[in-house]
Amino acid sequence: MCGAGPAGLATALYLQRLGHRVVVLERFAEPRPIGSGIILQPTGQAVLHDLGLFEATRALGTPIDRLCGTEGQGRRVVLDVRYGALPKAGRGLGIHRAALFHVLHEAVLAAGIAIRVGCGVMAARDAEDGRRSLMLADGRETEAFDLVVDCLGAGSPLKSLSDKPGRSRTLRFGAVWASLPWRGENFDATALLQRYRAASVMVGVLPIGKAAPGGEDLAAFFWSLPVEDFEAVKAKGIVAWKKAVLAEWPETAVYLDNIAEFSDLTLARYAHYTMPVPVARGLAFVGDSAHSTSPQLGQGANMALLDARALYLGLQKHPDDLKAALAHYARLRCWHVRLYQLMSAMFTPFYQSDSKTLPVIRDLFVSFIARIPPAPQFLAALVAGSLLSPLKKLGLKRGPRV
Ligand SMILES: Cc1cc2nc3c(=O)[nH]c(=O)nc-3n(C[C@H](O)[C@H](O)[C@H](O)COP(=O)(O)OP(=O)(O)OC[C@H]3O[C@@H](n4cnc5c(N)ncnc54)[C@H](O)[C@@H]3O)c2cc1C
């Protein structure tokens, strides 16, 4: 297993459940999460429930009932997705990435799975017996493995080994992020709130619960911008940046007070990439190494968890035929991944782009149409990750209510 993110840790647990000897290779000296908060959708929650980790995750996260975006300094609601429009879809769980990592990592350790740290994977090499070994950044070569699972995220160096690698498209817009103490006044403890100006400015606040048991409640704060502009923004100074944020959303002052300098913010870059065939001989791609996109629909970690379950089912169904097992895995995830990648590619420019027309269409039509049934139900299902019923396909039921 390469990579100790959500994909790698969940896959390690599943493969060990099948009785395989699993080794996780991670580049960091200490396994650790990168980034701020995410929304665990009912799909991801169901996988965690299947792994016996839902209660521990729920204890750290916080329920999310709706995603609400406003324009014109909060005067016009242009996006209002309510999970409640489709009660059977469940609702979201805002969670700090460190909390999700903590739960999965503890489970991996408790299961006795070996995590080798300081192992930067650079390449895979064919071993004589049809297996694969891995070349590491420090020049070492690992033993040969029957199956290498690439969970190295969007920047994986192994992608080109796929039977059909596809092309990656770097997105112009990224975002700066920070996890900050939660401030309830003027914010909604059960909603992702976003504020837009056209599609070029987006500020967001997402409640994400606690980073660790007993910790304080946190929010993920983000500001979207073209990645290439970040140096210019930094050159103008933190005061000028805060002024720009406050001009869009004055109430965020309570969050900005906790940001002293740009080093308190993390820049996230996004690439849109869908690997047409997420397998090769002795190799499976799981999570962002197989498909990545902007986080507009909040699905990435959930997709990674669904992938892990699908690979488990493939290997369970064909215990003695790895090729058939991998083909089954690819089939199980094919349409759900493609649909969500397509939806993300379609929706993202309405919220993060230089387009002048798309935000006008968004504000005039989309916000209006979105209120007429069955659009609210469709949007709830879209955000919950449940279009095309991925849980049913993977033999899972929705987990307990958040
Ligand atoms: C700002 C932002 C907001 C997001 N919001 C959401 C959201 O609300 N909901 C959601 O579901 N998803 C969200 N996502 C997407 C989500 O974070 C990813 O889809 C998810 O983390 C993918 O998991 P992964 O395990 O495939 O990859 P990663 O999380 O990227 O993990 C990869 C692991 O591999 C390790 N690694 C990388 N390269 C090497 C190497 N060469 N050798 C060894 N180890 C290596 C890394 O250190 C890491 O531990 C968001 C992403 C971003 C950037």
Q: Is residue 207 part of a domain?
A: no
Cα–Cα distance for residue pair 363/356, rounded to 1 Å: 11
A 10 A CB-CB count for 90 gives 23
Instruction: Record the tokens describing residue 303, joined without a space.
Output: 């997709």
Q: Tell how far the Cα of 247 is from the centroid of ligand 1, in angstroms.
A: 32
pLDDT in tens, the chain (402 residues): 999 999 999 999 999 999 999 999 999 987 677 778 999 999 999 999 999 999 999 999 999 999 999 988 778 898 999 999 999 989 999 999 999 999 999 999 999 999 999 999 999 999 878 899 999 999 999 999 999 999 999 999 999 999 999 999 999 999 999 999 999 999 999 999 999 999 999 999 999 999 999 999 999 999 999 999 999 999 999 999 999 999 999 999 999 999 999 999 999 999 999 999 999 999 999 999 999 999 999 999 999 999 999 999 999 999 999 999 999 999 999 999 999 999 999 999 999 999 999 999 988 887 888 889 999 999 999 999 999 999 999 999 998 989
- Ligand 1, atom 20, lies closest to the CA of 301
Residue 151 inside a domain? The answer is yes
Report the nearest-CA residue for atom 27 of ligand 1. 153
Q: Is residue 254 part of a domain?
A: no
Q: For residue 356, what are the CA distances in angstroms to 223, 244, 259?
A: 19, 20, 31
Are the C-beta atoms of residues 286 and 6 closer than 8 Å to each other?
no
Pick the closest to residue 1 from 370, 9, 247, 173 (CA basis): 9
Q: What's the full length of the chain, in residues? A: 402
Q: Is residue 263 part of a domain?
A: no
Ligand 1 atom at minimal distance to the Cα of residue 157: 41
Pick the atom of ligand 1 nearest to 9's CA: 25
The 8-class DSSP code of residue 165 comes to: -
Query: How many C-alpha atoms does 400 have within 13 Å on its Cβ side?
Result: 9
Helix (H, G, I), strand (E, B) or coil at 106: helix
3-class SS at 240? helix
228: in domain? no
* Number of independent structural domains in the chain: 1
For 362, counting Cβ atoms within 10 Å of its Cβ (0-12 exposed, 13-18 middle, 19+ buried), the class is buried
CATH number of the domain at 145, please. Answer: 3.50.50.60
Q: Which residue's C-alpha comes closest to atom 35 of ligand 1?
A: 3
Q: Domain for residue 230, yes or no?
A: no
List Cα–Cα distances, 21 to 18, 147, 358, in angstroms.
9, 11, 51
Token output for 103: 């739960």
In a domain, 149, yes or no: yes
Structural domain containing residue 78:
6-170+271-393
| CB-based contact 131:146 (threshold 8 Å) | yes
Substitution site in 25, 36, 38, 225 for ligand 1 pocket (most atoms within 8 Å of beta carbon): 38
Pocket of ligand 1 (CB under 6 A): 2-8, 25-28, 35, 38-39, 119-121, 151-153, 155, 157, 175, 177, 268, 287-288, 295, 298-302, 304
Does residue 399 form part of some domain? no
Orientation of helix 300-317 relative to helix 6-17, angle to 10° = 20
